[in-house]
Amino acid sequence: MAQSEGNAPRTSTGLSAWAWDQCLGGLTYGQPFKLALSYGGGLLHESTSGGADICLFGAGKVGFGAARGTIGIGRSSGPLGRGVALTTGVMRTFSSSWGATPRRTYVGAGINVWPLLGLGGEIGYYVRVGDTRGEPDRQRRIISWSAGFGF
């Protein structure tokens, strides 16, 4: 049996069923992160018949306004690299966050869509946690968004 890149065993039909690998990465701009870098990896199932690739991943995103850790599942397909991913995670805002309470923790979920060649965006819904009694509701729930390109 021949070895493929990354020491994943090859079979006569292609790559093994699941292997540890990079699943996503990119540069984005949006709320509350401002300019941000993201990177994620996990268990990747590459289709050997030209179908969809599937990844169960963990990812981090760090920007000028916030940082976030997520887990999720993504699916990409086609020769033009389109795909979608669903994530859930924890986000911490910095003093310069955009549209969110500074220096606070949020939990939530999001959807990432890249319709063509790694260009795309994400939208998420996050709720601030750890509030003290009587704290204002302003920016307690936020819609996060970003647009950019990935690899």
Higher pLDDT pick, 131 / 29: 29
Compute the mean pLDDT over every residue in the chain, rounded to the nearest whole number.
87
Contacts of 103 (CB under 8 A, 6+ apart): 92, 93, 94, 95
Query: Percentage helix, strand, coil, to 5, in the chain?
Result: 0, 65, 30
Q: What does the pLDDT read at residue 9?
A: 46
- Measured between its terminal Cα atoms, the distance across the chain in Å is 29
Gap between the Cα atoms of 25 and 72, Å rounded: 14
Q: What does the pLDDT read at residue 117?
A: 78
Higher pLDDT pick, 148 / 118: 148
Instruction: Please give the average per-residue pLDDT across 53-61, as a whole number.
Output: 95
Beta carbons of 110 and 101 less than 8 angstroms apart:
no
Task: Give residue-wise pLDDT tens across range 77-125.
Answer: 877 778 899 999 999 999 999 999 999 999 999 999 989 878 999 999 9
Percent of the chain exceeding pLDDT 70 equals 88
